[in-house]
Amino acid sequence: MAAHRCSCWSWLLILFSLSVFVVADIHETTPVNDHHGGVDHNAQTAEQTADQPAVEERRWEATEVKEAATVDAAADIQGTSAPETVVPSSVPQPKDDFQEELVIRPLHSGDIYASFQFRTLWDTDFMRENKVSHYRLFPKSLGQVISKFSVRELHISFTQGYWRTMQWGQPFIPSPPGAELWVWFQDSVTDVDATWKELTNVLSGIFCASLNFIDSTNTVQPSASFKPLGLGNVTDHSFLRYATLPREIVCTENLTPWKKLLPCGSKVNVPPFTCAFFFLKKRGTSMPSVSVLSFLLTMFSEQAGLAVLLKSEKLFHSSFHSQAVHIRSVCQDWQCKTTSWELRQTLNSVFDLHNSGQTKREWSLFKMFSRTLTEACPLASSSKLYIDITDNPQGEQFELSPATSLLSQAVVLGDRRTFSVYDLTQETTFGTVRSLNLLIRWKSNEGEMLRPLLHAERYVAGYGLQTGEIHTLMYNNHPYRSFPVLLLDSVPWYLRLYIHTLSVTSKGKDNKPSYIHYEPSKDRVKPHLLEMLIQLPPNSVTEVTVQFERALLKWTEYPPDPNHGFYVGSSVISSLVPSTVAMHTNSTRERPLFSSFFPCKEESSYFVRIYTEPLLVNLPTPDFSMPYNVICLTCTVVAVGYGSLYNLLTRSFQIEEPNPGLAKRIANVIRRMRGVPPL
């Protein structure tokens, strides 16, 4: 009992010191808050409330910043959107920077597409001699991975569900079902394969995924696809590795470590607090301390910013879920003479609201995420919520509440889109209730979606368990322009491709690829790799077929559920699709995060990468089940036991005389004539 009390008091002491610390912290932060909404806050809001009804027409974002108007005059002439913020050059820039952003796009199918992007920029050099040891916004676990394995670029994604391009259009950031990992190493790496293997093991620990199943049998080294997305011109493809695990499941255990990488996303779970709380409750200590405690608990367990919306129960109750981490180097300033590291965490979801028992087409942040937004992440330099209202210019399709007067235009994926913008760093966004629960109420169901210019599908044809044929269909829906696509196929070794049957046809005619790279597989060592550069004629379907034979596995190589089938990863189609509007080629310009992922070289076309469905192929599988064993055993017993007994009982046995030689036979004839018994 004494120990019990003692530890209780020790907990109290710790608690007390922490509360003092927290209070001190609050005092430190209050001036910052005052700056935003202190004394003149009331006056400001009063002004704004007076202003709001008067200024009914929508404002464009550019007009917000007075100084920016003149600067962006040139840009406005071209009809492009103005930058979000203009940072005066005299203010010293922080060495690291965090931005968060949520884009919501109502889809024509009635679903809702929500895309989160969190970007951390850091001007540091992970490759220098003395190790980087002080981390602020950048997650330490990933920083150590970058420096230990000399990673130049790392892209990892975990996806559940298949992105339906024909119904949903193009995603901001594409990803194949399952897990995908591609890494560019620095030229200083000597043994790329060993580093790659080690890296996958480490990443499997960081992301709680089975990435350690990536080995030489599913890793390829693309020769033309997957050019680096970051800075640098060195494109020696021997430093590139690419692997997919189409079977990988994605669930809360992958989301938890992903959220922990966010500066505002990690939930600090401190057991001593709950423990101490318990003690206080039990001993009935005075109320003030309990209130301080509960305050402490909320302080430490709450997330801030957009990360509050990331609740696994809601996120995984969706038609499509994809989370990714992209690390690359980007320009630090407009001159692009120095680089900084960019960590981009993205999460894309498509919510099917009809499915979840909704009769009325109505949608709100709370219904979708079971949370509302109350504040921006205090560490973020920008925190914004975009709603795509391109199809709804006059509000005839749906109604948005609370309405925002802030609009923004961005060119994304070859199309100019209009967005309503909610700036979470502004106090007024949250209104008087101090929380933002966005509501969309549909008025009509009409509306045509622009057909995506490029989409693809793939299936397995053939019957039986010996041979088959893989068909890949690529659609060019552009009425009069052809464009090139680069197809990458990585097929596991247990499907033996008959590469001589490879055929590429479009519009009934042979379409000769201008570049073919094929690496045959080696059994149990490496997969097939097929890369082809094909020109897709306008308004056509191009079909790529190749036959294959199914290999027999050794019986220990079958997984525990072989009858489920074996997966073949998605084909990757990279393409330069003609754009209807001029793309921004200036990569250093400040743009919303969702439109700045793929660098753009020319104005007339934009780069897009799409993935086909993964294939599920049945291999000839022995029957591992009990009856098979019983039948085998019984047959053996019958054949060996009963068979030999039957033989013993039914056959008559006699000693066979060996055939005597010729001399002996002659001698016996003579002996018989003589009347002597034969030899």
Partner 1 sequence: MQILTLLGLFSACFLANSINIENSAGQFFSSGHTNNWAVLVCTSRFWFNYRHVANTLSVYRSVKRLGIPDSHIVLMLADDMACNHRNPKPATVFSHKNMELNVYGDDVEVDYRGYEVTVENFLRVLTGRLPPSTPRSKRLLSDDRSNILIYLTGHGGNGFLKFQDSEEISNVELADAFEQMWQKRRYNELLFIIDTCQGASMYERFYSPNIMALASSQVGEDSLSHQPDLAIGVHLMDRYTFYMLEFLEDIHPASKTNMNDLFKVCPKSQCVSTPGHRTDLFLRDPGSVLITDFFGSVRKVELTMDAINLTDPIKQMEENPVNGEEQKEVYSYADQLPVSEIIHQKPKQKDWHPPDGFILGLWTLILLVFFKTYGIKHLKHIF
Rule CB under 8 A: which of 6-35 touch partner 1? 6-14, 16, 19-20, 23
How far, in Å, CA of 452 to CA of 454, rounded?
5
Number of residues that bind partner 1 (CB under 8 A): 91
Stretch in the footprint of partner 1 (CB under 8 A) among 84-92, 336-344, 411-419, 470-478: 336-344
Shortest Cβ distance from residue 257 to partner 1 (Å)?
7
How far, in Å, CA of 580 to CA of 595, rounded?
16
Tell me the three state secondary structure of residue 294. Answer: helix
**Residue ranges in 464-483 that form contacts with partner 1 under rule CB under 8 A:** none
Strands (E), 277-338: 320-331
Among 35, 337, 500, 554, binds partner 1 (CB under 8 A): 337
Nearest to residue 342, comparing CAs of 605, 83, 571, 138?
138
Per CB under 8 A, 420 contacts partner 1: no
Per CB under 8 A, 356 contacts partner 1: no
Stretch in the footprint of partner 1 (CB under 8 A) among 278-286, 374-382, 428-436, 444-452: 278-286
**Residue ranges in 196-215 that form contacts with partner 1 under rule CB under 8 A:** 197-198, 201-202, 204-206, 208, 210, 212-213
How far, in Å, CA of 385 to CA of 233, rounded?
34
Per CB under 8 A, 285 contacts partner 1: yes
Per CB under 8 A, 618 contacts partner 1: no
Instruction: Confirm if 81 and 364 have CB atoms less than 8 A apart.
Output: no
Shortest Cβ distance from residue 514 to partner 1 (Å)?
5
Instruction: Confirm if 553 and 532 have CB atoms less than 8 A apart.
Output: no
Among 33, 52, 63, 252, binds partner 1 (CB under 8 A): 252
Shortest Cβ distance from residue 558 to partner 1 (Å)?
8
Instruction: Confirm if 242 and 209 have CB atoms less than 8 A apart.
Output: no
Per CB under 8 A, 269 contacts partner 1: yes
Shortest Cβ distance from residue 288 to partner 1 (Å)?
4
Stretch in the footprint of partner 1 (CB under 8 A) among 2-10, 61-69, 342-350, 445-453: 2-10
The single-letter DSSP state of residue 232 is -
Shortest Cβ distance from residue 593 to partner 1 (Å)?
16
**Residue ranges in 140-179 that form contacts with partner 1 under rule CB under 8 A:** 160
Among 45, 312, 374, 580, binds partner 1 (CB under 8 A): 312
Q: Is the dihedral of CA 417, 421, 424, 430 positive or negative?
A: negative
Among 292, 353, 439, 473, binds partner 1 (CB under 8 A): 292
How far, in Å, CA of 559 to CA of 213, rounded?
13
Report residue 641 as tokens.
Answer: 């036991």
**Residue ranges in 212-241 that form contacts with partner 1 under rule CB under 8 A:** 212-213, 223-224, 227-233, 235
DSSP string computed for 575-628: EEEEPSSPPP--TTS---GGGSSS----SSEEEEEEE-PPEEEPPP----SHHH
Per CB under 8 A, 514 contacts partner 1: yes
Stretch in the footprint of partner 1 (CB under 8 A) among 37-45, 61-69, 569-577, 611-619: 569-577
How far, in Å, CA of 396 to CA of 389, rounded?
11
Minimum CB distance to partner 1 smaller for 93 or for 644:
93
Per CB under 8 A, 626 contacts partner 1: no
**Residue ranges in 524-543 that form contacts with partner 1 under rule CB under 8 A:** 533
Minimum CB distance to partner 1 smaller for 332 or for 570:
332
The single-letter DSSP state of residue 640 is I
Stretch in the footprint of partner 1 (CB under 8 A) among 247-255, 432-440, 637-645, 666-674: 247-255
Q: Are strands 240-245 and 112-122 parallel, antiparallel or unpaired?
A: unpaired
Indicate left, alpha or beta for 437 from its phi (over 0: left) and psi (-120 to 50: alpha).
beta
**Residue ranges in 51-110 that form contacts with partner 1 under rule CB under 8 A:** none
Minimum CB distance to partner 1 smaller for 49 or for 301:
301
Q: Which residues are registered as beta bridge partners of 157?
A: 180, 324
Q: Residue 362 to residues 445, 474, 501: CA-CA distances in angstroms?
A: 12, 35, 52
Angle at 113 between CA 437 and CA 419, to 5 degrees: 70
Minimum CB distance to partner 1 smaller for 315 or for 593:
315
The enclosing H or E element of 274 equals helix 271-283
Minimum CB distance to partner 1 smaller for 288 or for 393:
288
Nearest to residue 224, comparing CAs of 605, 572, 603?
572
Instruction: Confirm if 475 and 541 have CB atoms less than 8 A apart.
Output: yes
Minimum CB distance to partner 1 smaller for 60 or for 316:
316
**Residue ranges in 359-378 that form contacts with partner 1 under rule CB under 8 A:** none
Q: Which residues are registered as beta bridge partners of 487?
A: 532, 573
Among 45, 256, 437, 467, binds partner 1 (CB under 8 A): 256
Angle at 539 between CA 533 and CA 544, to 5 degrees: 40
Among 268, 336, 450, 670, binds partner 1 (CB under 8 A): 336
Tell me the three state secondary structure of residue 262. Answer: coil
